[in-house]
Structure 1
């Protein structure tokens, strides 16, 4: 069953106009089905947080809406449910921290090696950069969400480097490597990252197949960084 059908059924059953209440209801409604709970919670998180972030710099641009739809391939019959959630969330920026904390529990139910929170940040970065620039307010929003999700500054920078240049364009920082690393150690790190972020593995953890574009873009960024590092080290 498509994740959108599940979300549609879920939204119909939850009579509320508060996005935080919708997120709170996910754990109860899908109790006993961890994978579905993660898929639904992840999807709602992407809808709600992307709407909040798009509003963070004071305006929701057409580029951001197109980027949103680039990630969300929503069937026409389910668009009304998604639009309802998006409209609820984009009313203002206030309130995102509360349900970001709730979403931080996505990976706390028996699966410590879980990447859904990183998937959410990658998706948000994709939307933030859609108009050609990640604005200061958007970056502050993303950094705060990352902090709530438990990522330290180094990890946030590693994620950010896959999407935007922060000073020097450095592929080593994309892979979390120090300059001076050996070719063997760099290759080992690269292979570990490819295995860790392979789309099939992420789907098994709970990433809805409808959002696989996020995982594919991340893997492409990792591959591109490795290609530059490998060329540099082999020439040394």
Structure 2
């Protein structure tokens, strides 16, 4: 059963009038099914952060809502219930820090090395940039979420670089490479990144299948960066 069917059935069968009551309802409704509870809690908390992210610059635009739908790829028959959750989160007085902390807690003691948190931040960047610019308030939002996720400055800069205009992004930063890297080392790093960010790997580490659009965006950015780095390094290879 898809995550959206699970969420739709949950919302339909649960009396919810505020987003703060959603999380507690998830805990009790899926108490005997921890795997489904984790996936539903992940998705609902991500919906909340997306709604808060869209409001960070002061206004929620249709472009940002479309970006949310691009990342989540919600089937038509479930969009009404997901939109209801999204609107409840927008209206909730709770700060986004609480939802970010909840997402981080899904990783338990391995939070610092939890790739799933990088996946979430990628989705938030996609929504933030959808109106053509990353605003100062959005960057503060994203930076705070990254701190709560225990992502260091280098990791944050790498994610940021993936979302800069394709022609402006520093390909070495996108790939996490030093300027004096050898061609063979750079190629190994590129192959590692492609392997780690394959959609199957995201699913294996707990990201719902419906969230895999993030992997496709990330792989495209990694491939574009490698094209530039490969040409750059080959130009300096000894003949």
TM-score by length of 2: 0.88
How far residue 125 of structure 1 moved from its aligned partner, in angstroms, is 0.9
Distance in 2 separating the partners of 1:26 and 1:229: 46
TM-score by length of 1: 0.89
User: For the structure 1 residues 110 and 150, does the alpha-carbon distance in structure 2 shift closer, same or farther, using more than 3 Å as the test?
Assistant: closer
Contact 1:20-1:99 at 8 Å conserved across structures: no
Contact 1:23-1:99 at 8 Å conserved across structures: no
53-62 or 108-117: bigger deviation: 108-117
Specify the alignment match of 2:192 in structure 1. Answer: 192
How far residue 163 of structure 1 moved from its aligned partner, in angstroms, is 0.2
Q: Which runs of 5+ in 2 are unaligned?
A: none
Contact 2:57-2:135 at 8 Å conserved across structures: yes
110-119 or 122-131: bigger deviation: 110-119
Report Cα offsets for 1:161-214 as digits up to 9, x if no partner. 10026xx63111111111101111111111111111111111122222222111
Contact 1:52-1:93 at 8 Å conserved across structures: no
Distance in 1 separating the partners of 2:24 and 2:151: 22
Aligned pair 1:4/2:29, yes or no?
A: no
Distance in 1 separating the partners of 2:17 and 2:98: 16
Contact 1:48-1:90 at 8 Å conserved across structures: yes
Give the alignment of 1:99-114 within 5 angstroms. Answer: 99-108=99-108, 114=114
Specify the alignment match of 1:154 in structure 2. Answer: 154
Distance in 1 separating the partners of 2:55 and 2:128: 10
Q: Give aligned pairs, total.
A: 234
Distance in 2 separating the partners of 1:110 and 1:202: 16
Pairwise CA RMSD of aligned residues?
2.3
Q: Which runs of 5+ in 1 are unaligned?
A: none
User: For the structure 1 residues 196 and 113, does the alpha-carbon distance in structure 2 shift closer, same or farther, using more than 3 Å as the test?
Assistant: farther
Moved over 6 A (4+): 109-112
Report Cα offsets for 1:117-167 as digits up to 9, x if no partner. 1111111111111111011111111111111111011111111110026xx
Specify the alignment match of 2:209 in structure 1. Answer: 209
Give the alignment of 1:149-188 within 5 angstroms. Answer: 149-164=149-164, 169-188=169-188
How far residue 38 of structure 1 moved from its aligned partner, in angstroms, is 3.4
Secondary structure, aligned partner of 1:56: coil
Distance in 1 separating the partners of 2:180 and 2:110: 37
